[in-house]
Structure 1
Amino acid sequence: MLEKVRKIGSLLLALMVLTSTMSFTVNMHYCGDTLVDTVLFKEAKRCGMEVQKPNPSSNACKITQKSCCSDQTLIIEGQNELKVTFHDLSFEQQLFISSYIYSYINLFEGLEQNIIPFQDYPPPLLTRDILILDQTFLI
């Protein structure tokens, strides 16, 4: 069970890093106030209600009509720089990190020689087996 939770957690963290660094666009096409199409990474399909532009070579009377359709593009920028340098941190943060690292390294520093505190004391002499005398046995 713990193995599955660990795999799911690592997958979620990998997806979070991927989505935070990835940039993408969302294109939406509206016809009036109605959303017709929403597409990721490419241009949205048209509804066919766009006003056609008149031929510029003709000298006919030109009446311009406002189109009822509109396009919206939502651009979501990802994070470009993931590596935070030590110099970008404030002085208090730098002080905390350096003191934490110093104390963590010294936590596992070993002694020069192995000290045995009871080295000068001999073990007690066993003259009688007390468990057999009292007839106390673990079953």
Structure 2
Amino acid sequence: MTRRLPFLFLLIVAASPASADQFNIRCLTSVGLTTPLRIQLGLPSDSDGGGYVLYQGGSGPIPLKMLKVTELRRVYGGRPSEMETQLVEITPAGAAGRYVFTSQGAIIDDFRSIRKDGSLVKFVDDPDELGTGRCSWTSPGGE
């Protein structure tokens, strides 16, 4: 029995949540750029953890860390409050770009990417990708 414990541990670790099913996936496209940028934003379904961002044509997902969530406006009548969320990219070189957006429930509004040099890129939901569960330009595995 004790010889099987390491195997059971590996089986449990391997079965840990790592699939796109545990993420709320949003496909966003930039506004106002000559060549639009497209990103896939994956936010955890069950926590206030970080998530990831994947750029079309990028080398892979970039982990995100939650900086803070602020309630901007309380909405009564059972509707979700309006929130501002701030995330930062975590790269081997340390913190990089930031993402700031407001949301009310599933509706994301005013999504901005703030690069390390301070430049700002605004994004909106990609209308061709709404409700698909993943961005069509990614592989089925989400990368």
TM normalised by structure 2 equals: 0.23
Larger strand share, 1 or 2: 2
Larger helix share, 1 or 2: 1
TM normalised by structure 1 equals: 0.24
